[in-house]
Amino acid sequence: METLVAVVVVAFLLFTINHSHCFNHHRRSQLQRNSLCAELIQPSGYPCTEHTVETKDGYLLGLQRVSSSHGGGDKNAKPTGPPVLLQHGLFMAGDAWFLNSNEQSLGFILADHGFDVWVGNVRGTHWSHGHTTLSVRDKDFWDWSWQELALYDLAEMINFVYSTTNSKIFFVGHSQGTIMALAAFTQPEIVDMVEAAALLCPISYLGHISSQFVLRLVGMHLDQMLIAMGIHQLNFRSDFSVRIMDSICDDEHMDCSNLLTSITGKNCCFNRSRIDFYFEYEPHPTSSKNLKHLFQMIRKGKFAMYDYGLLGNLKQYGHIQPPTFDVTSISESLPLWMGYGGNDSLADVEDFKHTLDDLKSTPELLYLDSYGHLDFILSMKANEEVYSNIIKFFGSRGSRGMSTSF
Ligand SMILES: *[C@@H]1O[C@H](CO)[C@@H](O)[C@H](O)[C@H]1NC(C)=O
Ligand SMILES: *[C@@H]1O[C@H](CO)[C@@H](O)[C@H](O)[C@H]1NC(C)=O
C-alpha cells in the first residue's frame, strides 16, 4: 500500500488542499475535446490561434498565439508587439499562465502590454497532439526526460516562433521550464534567437532541495519502482488514479493541505477559493523517465544528461558518465532576469546561488522572502510583485520599439 500511495502522491507536486474531489470528472472529458484557445483564452476575450510544431523525434506540440483583448474583438487579429514564449513547469501545461483573472495572469497581462504571446506545451500534456507514429499507449511514447524537452521541444518551439514572427523572442519559464531553458541556452544557435529571458524559480541544480516529501520519495526510489512496475506514463487523470486520489484526499490520516506545503514550500499568496478551478486543468501527465532524471539531479547534485548506467552511457554518450550541461558556457550576451522565493522548497536558495555562480552574466534578480514555488504563477499579487518587473526588464532590453502601453 505504501507503494501505491507513493505513486499517487507525486501528483500533489502541484496542488493539494483538503478536497474530497480532487478532479472534476466532467471537465476532464471536455478537456479532451477542446483546444486551450477555445477552453480558457478566447472566453476571457482574447484573440487566440492554435499552431502545431513537429519535433525532430516526431512529437506534435500545441502552441497558442494570444494577443491583446483591446484589439477590437477580431478573433484572428495579428499581434504587433515583440514575441514572447511562455514555458510551463512539471505536471503543468500552457494553461498555467491563464489560471487567474485577466489582471493577475501573466499570459493575459503580457498580451495586454502589446506582446505577441506564444504559449508552449511540452510533449505528453493535454494541449500537445501526440506523435507522428507512436500512440500514447506505447511505452516508447514516454521514453524521454527534460533533456528531450529542452533539446527537442523547446528548441523547436523557439525556432518556430522565431521564424514565424521573423523576430528574436523573449522567454519566460517557470520551474522545469527553467531547467529546459538553461539546458537549451548552452546551445549558441538557440541563444541567437532569444532577445532576453525571465526565469521564475530557476533550477539547474537540485542537490539542496528541502522538500521533505520529495526527499522521502527519492529515498524510497519511487522512480525506479515505477519503471520496474511498467508504469511509463505518470497520468493522474486516469480513472484509476482519480479514484485513489479522491480516497486519499478523504483520508483523515492524510492532511492534503500540509502535504502541498511539504512539497512546494509555503505558498503565501494564492487564491484558495480557486483551487477547484485549478484542478480542472492540473496536473498534466509526464513520463516516469522524466521523474527519474529529476531524481538523479537530486541524488547527484549535477546538471547532467540522463544517466543510463555505465554501459548505457558508453553506448549513448561514449562516456561512462553522462555529459553535464555547462551553465558557464551560456553566452554572456543573453540578458537574464531571475525571480526566486524564500519559501520555495523545490528551487532552493542554495541551489539557486550555485546556478548564479556558474553563470558568466549577471542576471537581474528579484527575491521574495514569502514566496513559495507556486506563488510565481498563481499569486494574486504576482502582477505588482513579479510581472511588472519582468515587463520593465523586457522593455529595457528590446531592440524593437515597444508599444506606448509600456
Ligand atoms: C479568488 O477567487 C474567487 C473565485 O474564483 C474570485 O471570485 C475572487 O475574486 C478571487 N480573489 C482575488 C483577490 O483575486
Ligand atoms: C517564509 O515566509 C514567511 C512568511 O510567510 C516569512 O516570515 C519567512 O521569513 C519566509 N522565508 C523563509 C526563508 O522562511
Give the Å distance between the CA of 342 and the centre of ligand 2.
6
Give the Å distance between the CA of 273 and the centre of ligand 1.
7
Catalytic residue, candidates 116, 307, 344, 351: 344
Entry field: residues in the chain? 406
What is the SS3 assignment for 189-222?
HHHCCEEEEEEECCCCCCCCCCCHHHHHHHHCCH
Nearest 5°: phi and psi at 34? Answer: -90, 165
The CA distance from 95 to 191, in Å, is 26
The CA distance from 316 to 281, in Å, is 36
Res 262: pLDDT: 79
Give the Å distance between the CA of 10 and the centre of ligand 1.
27
Extract the C-alpha cell encoding 159.
Answer: 525556432
Which ligand has the shortest distance to the CA of 271? 1
Res 22: pLDDT: 43
pTM: 0.90
The CA distance from 206 to 228, in Å, is 24
Q: Which residue has the cell 514572427?
A: 165
The CA distance from 60 to 103, in Å, is 31
399 is catalytic: no
**18 Cβ closer than 6 Å to some ligand 1 atom:** no
More confident residue, 7 or 181: 181
Nearest 5°: phi and psi at 124? Answer: 90, -15
Nearest protein Cα to ligand 2, atom 9:
369
Q: Could you identify the atom of ligand 2 that is nearest to the CA of residue 349?
A: 13
Nearest protein Cα to ligand 2, atom 5:
370
The CA distance from 100 to 270, in Å, is 9
The CA distance from 61 to 124, in Å, is 9
CATH no. of 34-235+263-397: 3.40.50.1820
Give the Å distance between the CA of 370 and the centre of ligand 2.
5
Q: What is the percent of the chain where pLDDT is above 70?
A: 82
Q: Could you identify the atom of ligand 1 that is nearest to the CA of residue 104?
A: 14
The CA distance from 209 to 87, in Å, is 22
Give the Å distance between the CA of 271 and the centre of ligand 1.
6
What are the pLDDT digits (tens) for 263-320?
889 999 988 888 888 888 988 999 999 999 999 999 999 999 999 999 999 999 999 9
How confident is residue 401, by pLDDT bands cut at 50, 70 and 90? very low
Which ligand has the shortest distance to the CA of 343? 2
> Residue 267 in contact with residue 378, Cβ under 8 Å?
yes
What are the pLDDT digits (tens) for 176-217?
999 999 999 999 999 999 999 999 999 999 999 999 889 988
- pLDDT at residue 250 above 60? no
Catalytic residue, candidates 67, 175, 204, 241: 175
Give the Å distance between the CA of 383 and the centre of ligand 1.
15
Res 246: pLDDT: 61
Q: Could you identify the atom of ligand 1 that is nearest to the CA of residue 380?
A: 14
Res 314: pLDDT: 98
Catalytic residue, candidates 345, 373, 375, 379: 373
Res 74: pLDDT: 56
**274 Cβ closer than 6 Å to some ligand 1 atom:** yes
> In DSSP terms, which residues pair with 131 in a beta bridge?
59
Indicate the top mutation candidate among 208, 264, 369 to test ligand 2's pocket, ranked by most ligand atoms within 8 A of CB: 369
Res 235: pLDDT: 86
Q: Which helix (H) or strand (E) holds 116?
A: strand 116-119
Q: What is the mean pLDDT of the chain?
A: 87
Average pLDDT rounded to a whole number, residues 49-68: 97
Nearest protein Cα to ligand 1, atom 10:
271
> Residue 184 in contact with residue 151, Cβ under 8 Å?
yes
What are the pLDDT digits (tens) for 71-82?
655 555 566 799
More confident residue, 234 or 21: 234
Average pLDDT rounded to a whole number, residues 240-260: 58
**271 Cβ closer than 6 Å to some ligand 1 atom:** yes
The CA distance from 187 to 170, in Å, is 16
> Residue 301 in contact with residue 205, Cβ under 8 Å?
yes
Contacts 24+ apart (CB under 8 A), 218-223: 218/295, 218/298, 218/299, 220/2, 220/6, 222/6, 222/7, 222/10, 222/291, 222/295, 223/288, 223/291, 223/292, 223/295
What are the pLDDT digits (tens) for 101-131?
999 999 999 999 999 999 999 999 999 999 9
Give the Å distance between the CA of 70 and the centre of ligand 1.
23
Ligand 2 lining (C-beta closer than 6 Å): 266, 268, 342-343, 369-370
Where helices occur in 150-270 by DSSP H, the ranges are: 155-165, 176-184, 188-191, 212-219, 222-228, 239-250, 256-264
**272 Cβ closer than 6 Å to some ligand 1 atom:** no
How confident is residue 240, by pLDDT bands cut at 50, 70 and 90? low
Nearest protein Cα to ligand 2, atom 4:
370
What are the pLDDT digits (tens) for 32-58?
557 999 999 999 999 999 999 999 999
- pLDDT at residue 160 above 60? yes
Cis preceding linkage at 202, omega within 30? no
> Residue 270 in contact with residue 379, Cβ under 8 Å?
yes
Extract the C-alpha cell encoding 75.
Answer: 478573433
What are the pLDDT digits (tens) for 374-386?
999 999 999 999 9
333 is catalytic: no
CA distances from 58 to 135, 152, 217, 337 (A): 11, 10, 32, 32
128 is catalytic: no
Res 261: pLDDT: 80
